[in-house]
Copies of this chain bind each other. A is one copy, B any other.
């Protein structure tokens, strides 16, 4: 156990350590079931309450899905949903005002511009999976053109467009972090948008910018893709968050 490891000095820590070791060694894989609470309590010599605490923490981290459609004797299923879990953690820290929104936007701009450039470098002609992802991004933009789309659906599809282009870039850590940042800021974005008197015009402008991003990626122009994302993020931030600034 390395000294840098965050070691909760609690009785459930043994289970968290064991899960990490078993994931690393491959003994435990996505889709496997953990042993039942009773079996874990016996194996580690701790109470079932402590076992349950460990499972809840793994659940909150997006590492297991517990108690879904199974009897109490069935173990939790190992999953991997880093975006959901880390996004929730980031949002809590954001709520505590420790992480400023302006810093989040700067990180988003940098990572997403890099991902869009990487997406533009993908050879979609000879890579069917990449081609399908790009086609999905285009479909999302077509759906976003509908002027009758409720705002909530617009925000959802807008987020999906960005994450689709990002995932086309191919870096899973970038996709995870950007998904987390999106989850962390979604409340602030909706709040900012509600205060915009000219939201219908803003919506049209956002769509023009989305089209520019898609054209640069589809046209295999990494620099244009990065520039279009940077301009889009900066423009929207200035419009949606100006009320937060002095």
A152 (CB) vs chain B CBs: closest residue: B3
Number of copies: 2
Give the residues from 101 to 118 in chain A that come closer than 8 angstroms, CB to CB, to chain B.
Answer: 103-104, 106-107, 110-111, 114
For window 154-208 of chain A, which residues contact chain B by CB distance below 8 Å?
156, 159, 171-174, 176-177, 181-183, 186-187, 190
Q: Among the listed B49, B59, B92, B174, which residue makes an inter-chain contact with A23, where contact means beta carbons less than 8 Å apart?
A: B92
A34: shortest Cβ distance to chain B, in Å? 13
Residues of B within 8 A of A4 (CB): 156, 159, 182-183, 186
Which residue of chain B has the shortest Cβ distance to A85 in the bound complex? Answer: B89
Q: Does A60 contact B (CB under 8 A)?
A: yes
> Taking the complex as formed, is A134 at the interface, i.e. its CB lies under 8 A from any CB of chain B?
no
With known contacts A6-B84, A20-B92, A80-B93, A107–B174 Cβ distance under 8 A: yes
Contacts of A3 in B (CB 8 A): 152, 156
A78 contacts the other chain (CB 8 A): yes
Nearest-neighbor residue (CB-CB) of A57 within chain B: B60
